């Protein structure tokens, strides 16, 4: 029966992540098109957009991207072509696979509980937590976009799960694949450049590998596999991302003593912000690509159960599910706390895993504690949870594609399509640099277009003579004109103009 219910949960999670994923979110945002273009270049030429053959690091918009997701997209493009779906496919599949893996992970933790009473009380937690993950707005949001963090979270959870298996059965393959999973996470997204080494150090300490000479080859293998990313992280290119987002760069310290005092306080403030009720239950991080407006990362109905789950676990003296959940809960924001803005839903996606465990335990704990009116409580819980979830789905599919379309680069695809239709008529194509992401979209959707970026004050050079020029610019208020070639409209009832194509004579 549990297998059947788990299959239902996975199907629910699949549908919530799969339906209309090419069009909602409403457009590829700039990192997605950068990933997609590099992946297509790798697939077709074996080189990135800068002509480097099979690179380990991909130069991108303002930083360098890690390789795993880009090579996965290259694989999906071999099947689906250069499409929005192909760019999002690895994240989509990772989001779906995380659900059954999460169930197996919790099932293993419950089975390893030595306290038979506690083990019996936690019987339904794995299935319930998996269902909560399947309908989690936090996890759905990042599974439906081309986000590397979703794949990294899958690898990270797989590493934790296989390490738990190692503790139980001491199978060599499980610890080897566990370590490999943590390393793959490191090469997938920046957050895991901190979380994975911490996990590997914990494994080394927990298993006291330094006391066993036979483990020396394995240690050397891990060092060799990690060495490229360690050297990259210490290089100017590898530290470029951290320098751009570092929380400490915001502080102007004049001496070492100020740094010693203020840096830890800033880190602590950022770290605690990830556990704030505003972030988790009310407003999220306020970034349009990361959530529905006015929704937190968790549903509001989950708040009392979240607190109850924490209370229940803290009361346990010796419990593997307590130790594992709290360890994941407390370490998940460590990487995000080093950067701004904080809190940040993307960088802290691994936090969704322990949060779902806490909420599931809280639900089970409260229901088990209340003997009278249990049916009434369950019915009320289902009604409230269903209402908020349907409210979320309505906002996601009806309002979000209109209200937040600019967060996803909506309009740029229309610019490229309109330009493609007109390019043969013009000697020169110029683009107002206010549309600063245009180059990435031209690369992805039509790399054959030859254009140049110009300032807002640009005027046609006299040496161009009577050569026809197509001028692409944002909408500055003039809706019509004899030299207007095309208006680029945003989707929505207002029929807003995003950009315009003008002919310059």
The CB-side HSE value for 366 (13 A sphere, CA atoms) comes to 20
3-class secondary-structure state, position 299: coil
Q: Where are the domains of the chain?
A: 2-403, 411-504
What per-residue confidence (pLDDT) applies to 10?
96
Residues 6+ away with beta carbon under 8 Å from 173: none
pLDDT in tens, the chain (505 residues): 889 999 999 999 999 999 999 988 998 999 999 999 999 999 999 998 888 999 999 987 667 899 999 999 999 999 999 999 999 999 999 999 999 999 999 999 999 998 888 899 999 999 999 999 999 999 999 999 999 999 999 999 999 999 999 988 888 889 999 999 999 999 999 999 999 999 998 888 877 766 666 667 777 888 888 999 888 888 877 666 666 667 666 666 556 766 677 778 888 999 999 999 999 999 999 999 999 888 999 999 999 999 999 999 999 988 999 999 999 999 999 999 988 888 999 999 999 999 999 999 999 999 888 877 788 888 898 999 999 999 999 999 988 988 888 899 888 999 999 999 999 999 999 999 999 899 999 999 999 999 999 998 888 898 998 899 999 999 888 888 888 999 999 887 677 889 999 998 8
pLDDT per residue over 440-471, tens digit each?
Answer: 999 999 999 999 999 988 888 989 988 999 99
Count CB-CB contacts under 10 A for residue 19. Answer: 11
Cα separation of 177 and 271, whole Å? 30
CB of 43 within 8 A of CB of 78?
yes
- Residue 384: C-alpha distances to residues 281, 387, 391 (Å): 15, 5, 11
Beta-sheet strands, E only, within 12-122 = 58-59, 64-65
What per-residue confidence (pLDDT) applies to 194?
94
371's enclosing H/E stretch is: none
Cα separation of 393 and 138, whole Å? 13
What per-residue confidence (pLDDT) applies to 289?
93
What per-residue confidence (pLDDT) applies to 341?
87
3-class secondary-structure state, position 477: coil
Alpha-carbon torsion angle 398, 400, 406, 410, nearest 10: -40
Chain centroid to CA 201: 25
pLDDT per residue over 257-290, tens digit each?
Answer: 666 777 788 889 999 999 999 999 999 999 999 9
Cα separation of 438 and 33, whole Å? 10
What per-residue confidence (pLDDT) applies to 258?
67
The burial class, CB within 10 Å (0-12 / 13-18 / 19+), for 482 is exposed
CB of 320 within 8 A of CB of 109?
yes
The CB-side HSE value for 455 (13 A sphere, CA atoms) comes to 3
- Cα–Cα nearest to 180, from 232, 226, 248: 226
Say if strands 469-474 and 452-454 run parallel, antiparallel, or are unpaired.
Answer: unpaired
Cα separation of 280 and 272, whole Å? 12
Say if strands 428-432 and 469-474 run parallel, antiparallel, or are unpaired.
Answer: parallel
pTM of the full predicted structure?
0.93
Cα separation of 439 and 431, whole Å? 9
């Amino acid at each position: 029966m549990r297998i059947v219910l788990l299959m239902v949960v996975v199907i629910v999670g699949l549908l919530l992540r799969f339906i209309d994923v090419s069009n909602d979110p409403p457009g590829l945002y700039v990192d997605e098109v950068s990933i997609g273009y590099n992946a297509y270049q790798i697939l077709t030429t074996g080189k990135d957009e800068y002509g480097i053959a099979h690179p380990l690091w991909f130069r991108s918009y303002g930083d360098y991207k890690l390789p795993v997701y880009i090579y996965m997209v290259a694989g999906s493009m071999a099947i689906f072509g250069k499409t929005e779906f192909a760019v999002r496919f690895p994240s989509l599949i990772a989001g779906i696979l995380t659900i059954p893996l999460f169930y197996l992970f919790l099932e293993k933790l419950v089975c390893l509980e030595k306290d038979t009473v506690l083990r019996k009380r936690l019987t339904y937690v794995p299935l319930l937590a998996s269902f909560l993950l399947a309908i989690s707005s936090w996890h759905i949001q990042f599974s439906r976009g081309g986000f590397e963090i979703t794949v990294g979270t899958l690898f990270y959870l797989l590493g934790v799960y296989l390490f738990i298996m190692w503790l139980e059965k001491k199978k060599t393959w499980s610890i080897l694949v566990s370590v490999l999973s943590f390393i793959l996470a490191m090469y997938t997204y920046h957050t895991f450049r901190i979380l994975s080494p911490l996990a590997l150090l914990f494994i080394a300490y927990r298993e006291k590998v330094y006391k066993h000479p036979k483990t020396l080859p394995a240690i050397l293998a891990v060092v060799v596999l990690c060495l490229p990313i360690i050297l990259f992280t210490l290089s100017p290119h590898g530290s470029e991302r951290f320098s751009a987002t570092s929380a400490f760069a915001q502080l102007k310290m004049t001496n070492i003593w100020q740094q010693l005092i203020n840096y830890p306080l800033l880190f602590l403030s950022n770290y605690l912000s990830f556990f704030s009720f505003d972030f988790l239950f009310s407003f999220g991080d306020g970034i349009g690509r990361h959530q529905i407006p006015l929704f937190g990362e968790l549903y509001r109905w989950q708040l009392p159960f979240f607190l109850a789950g924490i209370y229940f676990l803290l009361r346990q003296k010796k419990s593997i599910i307590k130790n594992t959940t709290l360890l994941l809960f407390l370490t998940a924001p460590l990487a995000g706390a080093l950067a701004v803005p904080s809190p940040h839903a993307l960088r802290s996606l691994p936090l969704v895993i322990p949060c779902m465990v806490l909420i599931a335990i809280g639900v089970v704990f409260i229901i088990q504690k209340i003997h009278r009116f249990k049916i009434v409580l369950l019915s009320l819980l289902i009604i409230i949870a269903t209402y908020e979830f349907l409210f979320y789905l309505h906002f996601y599919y009806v309002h979000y594609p209109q209200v937040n379309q600019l967060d996803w680069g909506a309009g740029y695809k229309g610019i490229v399509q309109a330009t493609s239709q007109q390019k043969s008529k013009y000697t020169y194509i110029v683009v107002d640099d206010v549309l600063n992401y245009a180059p990435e979209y031209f690369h992805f959707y039509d790399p054959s277009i030859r254009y140049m970026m110009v300032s807002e004050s640009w005027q046609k050079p006299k040496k161009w003579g009577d050569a026809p020029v197509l001028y692409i610019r944002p909408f500055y208020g003039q809706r019509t004109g004899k030299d207007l070639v095309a208006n680029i409209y945003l989707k929505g009832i207002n029929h807003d103009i995003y950009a315009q194509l003008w002919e310059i004579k």
